Structure 1
Amino acid sequence: MSNPNIPKWCALPNHAIPRVLFKALCMIAISKSSVEHWEELRQISIKNSEELERNSTEPKRNSMDEKWEKHKKMLINRFENMNITAGLVLTSSAVFISTIPRNNPISYTLRKRSYILLVISFVTALMSLMTGTSVLIIYDTCYAHKDVLESFKESRLRLIICLLLMAFPTLALIVSTFALMSAIYIAGFTSDKPYVKVLTGLACVILFLLAGLAIYVFNAPIKKAAHGTGNVINV
């Protein structure tokens, strides 16, 4: 059953898999598990516009305005930090691509698979940096704009596409980082030096251990999100 207090356009999907995917998309895009707060922002924008038309003066800020301004600042800071990380990954992959290793136990440019992955890492990091900068510019000016939020109310598909665009810099950075790490691991495992293979294997074990710990930590909230029944709609 849907919660009548939550408008249909911003409510969560009813079924488990779409709900988990939608929540994951929201977390990646806007660092929240849903877009229900956008309805509050829409109401605030409408109210402020009406006050501005009626009084011809800037409306007074309230606690709700300050709350969402704080969230906007947090989100913008996240994108700025992510752009810095994307720049570092971009530089690292560019150095690997343009440098020919001499007397190096890890010949990453001589391995075809490693070199292809390095190129993929470079391209996706560049895409992450470009789209992340675009999101920063657009999101800062359009945040809580009533026309933009009204367009989401009219079309659920437009809302999902907007979230995908906002999530793309993060997803591209994940792919770029994974490709860079894979290229180094492949070069390490195919090295002629036994100690390099041992060190590479140890790094892989640590990586899988950290992944397992992360799954253990987030297993409970993922199950809760998948089996939740409140504030949902059918899709």
Structure 2
Amino acid sequence: MSVTAGNPASHRKKRLNNYGPPTNLILAQAFKVLCIIAVSRTSLEHWGNTQHTGWKEHTKAIINRFHYSNVTAGLVLTTTAVLISSEAPVTRLMGYNTPASYILALVAFGAALLSVISGAAVLIMYETGTTHHNMETLKEMSRRKVIFLLLWLAWPSVCLAVATFCLYLSIFVACFLSKNILVKVLATLSLLAFCANGVLALDVFIFVGKRPASAKHQDPEQGYAMTTVTP
């Protein structure tokens, strides 16, 4: 005898028309990465019901993330401004006025500035939109508009990542090209730590979003588990 338990069909989440990932494997992974960067989720299923309390809590979390991102971008912007506007006090230890280091610092400065500007714009418009407008219109967006919206939301974080990476490379090059052996060793160790952190982040990213073994029999359309009882 089989018994099926679950929520009524009337309680199913409303789904966004064009929120699903592409069928292509590579594009699907790219879409997943874009969702993580833009909305801190592996998919857009939470857009299916913008009247739920979970949606409100999620928007608050995203707004807080934009606040922290803007603060971090401001710190990176200040640091790079100091690097490109001053000379190294001890050139034997860290000569960041070398061409390679200086160019990387300029790129970091530009990316950080873009992150601050775009982050402020996204924060103002996102907070205003989610507070004073009915976000149920998300369900009517075309596929192209969904991608554009995700890119717009992800742009400040992408710029911040580029700025931080270029700032690190600028300091690494300045230290590695120094004439002090200890500084070179420390720079090499920092590079190894940076690469190890990247490997760990990639491992976590691959794990996040996978369905646990206990949920293999869950119905993705109805959102409840299929329980089979045998006499």
Same fold, judged at TM 0.5 (above): yes
Query: Which of residues 127, 131, 156 is equivalent to 1:140?
Result: 127
1:155-187 alpha-carbon deviations (Å, 9 max, x no partner):
211111111011000000000000000011111
- Asked whether the equivalents of residues 15 and 47 of structure 2 are also in contact (C-alpha less than 8 Å), the reply is no
Relative to structure 1, is the Cα distance of residues 93 and 152 closer, same or farther in structure 2, using a 3 angstrom cutoff?
farther
Aligned to 2:115: 128
Cα distance between partner residues in 1 of 2:206 and 2:82: 38
Cα distance between partner residues in 1 of 2:59 and 2:162: 26
Instruction: Tell me the CA shift for residue 212 of structure 1.
Output: 2.1
Query: Which of residues 172, 197, 200 is equivalent to 1:210?
Result: 197
Query: Which of residues 19, 28, 40 is equivalent to 1:31?
Result: 40
1:46-79 alpha-carbon deviations (Å, 9 max, x no partner):
xxxxxxxxxxxxxxxxxx2x32221111110000
TM-score, length basis structure 2:
0.78
Instruction: Tell me the CA shift for residue 28 of structure 1.
Output: 0.7
Cα distance between partner residues in 1 of 2:68 and 2:146: 25
Q: Does 1:193 align with 2:180?
A: yes
Instruction: Tell me the CA shift for residue 103 of structure 1.
Output: 2.8
Q: What amino acid does structure 1 have at the position aligned with 2:147?
A: I
Cα distance between partner residues in 2 of 1:211 and 1:20: 17
Alignment of 1:143-158 (within 5 A): 143=130, 145-146=133-134, 150=137, 153-158=140-145
Q: What amino acid does structure 2 have at the position aligned with 1:207?
A: F
Relative to structure 1, is the Cα distance of residues 15 and 223 closer, same or farther in structure 2, using a 3 angstrom cutoff?
farther
Relative to structure 1, is the Cα distance of residues 38 and 151 closer, same or farther in structure 2, using a 3 angstrom cutoff?
closer
Cα distance between partner residues in 1 of 2:31 and 2:20: 10
Relative to structure 1, is the Cα distance of residues 97 and 198 closer, same or farther in structure 2, using a 3 angstrom cutoff?
same
**Structure 1 stretches of 5 or more lacking a match?**
45-63, 225-229
Q: How high is the sequence identity, in percent, across the aligned residues?
A: 37
SS class of match (1:9)? coil
Aligned to 1:55: none
Aligned to 1:106: 94
Query: Which of residues 23, 32, 42 is equivalent to 1:14?
Result: 23
Alignment of 1:28-107 (within 5 A): 28-41=37-50, 44=51, 64=52, 66-104=53-91, 105-107=93-95
Cα distance between partner residues in 2 of 1:219 and 1:11: 19
Q: Which runs of 4+ in 1 moved over 4 A?
A: none
- The structure in which a higher percent of residues are helix is 1
TM-score, length basis structure 1:
0.77
Instruction: Tell me the CA shift for residue 92 of structure 1.
Output: 0.5
SS class of match (2:18)? helix
Paired residues in the alignment total: 202
Cα distance between partner residues in 2 of 1:79 and 1:5: 27
Q: What amino acid does structure 1 have at the position aligned with 2:99?
A: K
